[in-house]
């Protein structure tokens, strides 16, 4: 059995349909999986959508969203008893993921040398506390300007280095780490290749109700829009 867990902080954005799609698709392609929210903002509707709501004793803040996610994932993984797939709310599963023989699997974007890791989906087996503690320690000590976004991904890149390739498997502290080819595993609709097992609906692709949060070209998004997603 695997736990499909989504870290989600509710800031009033219209994410409910996306979350419903994500959890429904997960249960379709991985029958018997256990689904759960990992959240500082438990809401009644979450209990109807997922089998479990893991409430965090934390104060939600848009300006520390990525940092808070890193800490929350670590708090879960140091006590996890089963394999976990940590996912974004805006992905949709097409088929069951290809789980490697590794303790941690990360999405590696081979065309993104500056920030190659995407946290849309992270596979983790129980154990490896030193890996996770070091990960969150790096994330919270990165510049506060990126605590709202990116620091949760950059912390992984700091641990792996950017001089890697899809399919690489290597040791980081007490964890055996594997790099999925992001474009063949879980990727944005226009970048997915072959039989990607999940599609990632990033930015305005989330739906018409999200367009107002993405004004102009991507490089001109406001800080609030970036922080929200």
* Domain interval for residue 42: 3-228
pTM, entire model: 0.91
Mean pLDDT of all residues in 136-153: 97
Q: Which of 111-115, 139-143, 222-226 has the highest mean pLDDT?
A: 139-143
Cβ-proximal residues to 226 (8 Å cutoff; 6+ apart), any chain: 148, 149
- Is the pLDDT assigned to residue 211 strictly greater than 70? no
Confidence grade of residue 223 (pLDDT, cut at 50, 70, 90): very low
182-206: pLDDT as tens digits: 999 999 988 888 889 999 998 767 7
Number of domains in the chain: 1
50-102: pLDDT as tens digits: 999 999 999 999 999 999 999 999 999 999 999 999 999 999 999 999 999 99
Count of Cβ atoms closer than 10 Å to residue 225 Cβ = 18
CATH number at residue 16: 3.90.550.10
């Amino acid at each position: 059995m695997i736990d499909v867990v989504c870290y989600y902080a509710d800031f009033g954005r219209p994410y409910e349909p996306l979350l419903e799609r994500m959890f429904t698709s997960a249960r379709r392609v991985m029958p018997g999986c256990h689904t759960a929210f990992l959240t500082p903002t438990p809401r009644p509707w979450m209990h109807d959508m997922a089998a479990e709501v893991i409430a965090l004793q934390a104060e939600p803040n848009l300006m520390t969203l990525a940092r808070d996610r890193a800490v929350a994932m670590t708090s879960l993984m140091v006590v996890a008893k089963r394999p976990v797939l940590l996912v974004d709310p805006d992905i949709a599963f097409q088929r069951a993921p290809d789980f490697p023989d590794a303790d941690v699997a990360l999405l590696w974007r081979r065309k993104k040398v500056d920030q190659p890791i995407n946290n849309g989906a992270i596979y983790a087996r129980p154990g490896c506390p030193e890996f996770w503690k070091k990960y969150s320690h790096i994330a919270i000590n990165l510049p506060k300007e990126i605590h709202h976004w990116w620091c949760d991904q950059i912390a992984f890149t700091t641990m792996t280095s950017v001089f890697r390739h899809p399919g690489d498997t290597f040791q980081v502290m007490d964890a055996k780490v594997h790099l999925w080819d992001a474009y063949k595993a879980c990727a944005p609709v226009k970048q997915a290749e072959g039989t990607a097992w999940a599609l990632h609906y990033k930015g305005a692709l989330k739906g018409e109700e999200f367009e107002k949060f993405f004004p102009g070209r991507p490089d001109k998004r406001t800080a609030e829009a970036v922080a929200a997603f």
